[in-house]
């Protein structure tokens, strides 16, 4: 289980680095004028949820089973919380469904993600556990508002 989580964490990190590199690398042949360069979303909403937000949020929910005991473990968790927090910023870019309730819902994720990143940096397991409900609430609030068909079928796990 641990190695699967590590793998997913590494895959998500690779994806995120990919996003950063992609955004910074000019086209090989003819570089566009700087004023034409715009951020360009790579992941679909579904991919962002499944490949970054879902596994990193699980990492927080799983702290209740036992916080990391090694420096390496904490570093991994810290990286996952950073991805989770920054993914909220990705939800607020061109992918945002509107500039109203969507932004407010995404900010719930940003706030809890930011707090989780700080707690992981402080290696504070209890503080992370205490954020579980807040994180769960952030997911559910937006899903109730924007995820098609949410709540009309049985839910699998904490989403
Ligand atoms: C600001 C809005 C928002 C927040 C916050 C949010 N989601 Fe989502 N989520 C969506 C939307 C919209 C979809 C539907 C995407 C689609 O099907 O195109 C979705 C879909 C999903 C899916 C299903 C994707 C699929 O294609 O099967 C998962 C899993 C998921 N979210 C997990 C989470 C988790 C876990 C959290 C909290 C840590 C979270 N989401 C927070 C908006 C949000």
Q: List the one residue out of 95, 72, 84 whose CA is nearest residue 132.
A: 84
* Structural domains of the chain sorted by starting position, each given as residue range(s) with its CATH number in brackets: 2-146 (1.20.120)
Task: List b or e across 35-48, with b for residues whose CB sees 16 or more CB atoms inside 10 angstroms.
Answer: eeeeeeeebeeeeb
Helix (H) or strand (E) holding 16: helix 2-24
- Sole residue written with tokens 């990143």: 117
Cβ atoms of 102 and 96 closer than 8 Å: yes
pLDDT of 156 > 60? The answer is no
CA distance 159 to 155: 8
Ligand 1 atom with least separation from CA of 58: 35
CA distance 6 to 80: 10
Q: Give the least confident one: 75-84, 100-109, 143-152.
A: 143-152
- How much distance in Å is there from the Cα of 28 to the middle of ligand 1? 34
pLDDT of 41 reads 94
Q: Provide mean pLDDT across the span 75-97.
A: 97
pLDDT of 26 > 80? The answer is no
Confidence of residue 102 (pLDDT cuts 50, 70, 90): very high
Distances (CA, A) of 120 to 1, 89, 105: 20, 19, 23
Confidence of residue 30 (pLDDT cuts 50, 70, 90): confident
- How much distance in Å is there from the Cα of 131 to the middle of ligand 1? 19
- How much distance in Å is there from the Cα of 30 to the middle of ligand 1? 37
Terminal-to-terminal C-alpha distance of the chain: 19
Q: Model confidence over 109-137: pLDDT tens digits?
A: 999 999 999 999 999 999 999 999 999 99
pLDDT of 158 > 50? The answer is no
Query: Ligand 1: which residues within 6 Å by Cβ?
Result: 45-46, 49-50, 53-54, 57, 91, 102, 105-106, 109, 135, 138-139, 142-143, 146-147, 159
């Amino acid at each position: 289980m641990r190695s699967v989580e590590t793998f997913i964490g590494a895959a998500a990190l690779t994806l995120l680095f990919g996003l950063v590199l992609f955004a910074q690398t000019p086209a090989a042949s003819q570089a566009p004028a700087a004023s034409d360069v715009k951020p360009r979303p790579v992941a679909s909403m579904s991919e962002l949820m499944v490949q970054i937000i879902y596994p990193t949020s699980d990492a927080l929910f799983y702290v209740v089973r036992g916080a990391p005991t090694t420096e390496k473990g904490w570093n991994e968790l810290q990286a996952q919380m950073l991805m989770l927090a920054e993914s909220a910023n990705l939800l607020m870019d061109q992918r945002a469904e509107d500039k109203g309730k969507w932004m407010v819902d995404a900010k719930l994720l940003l706030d809890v993600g930011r707090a989780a990143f700080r707690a992981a940096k402080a290696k504070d397991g209890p503080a992370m556990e205490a954020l579980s409900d807040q994180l769960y609430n952030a997911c559910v609030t937006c899903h109730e508002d924007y995820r098609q068909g949410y709540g009309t079928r049985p839910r699998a796990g904490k989403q």
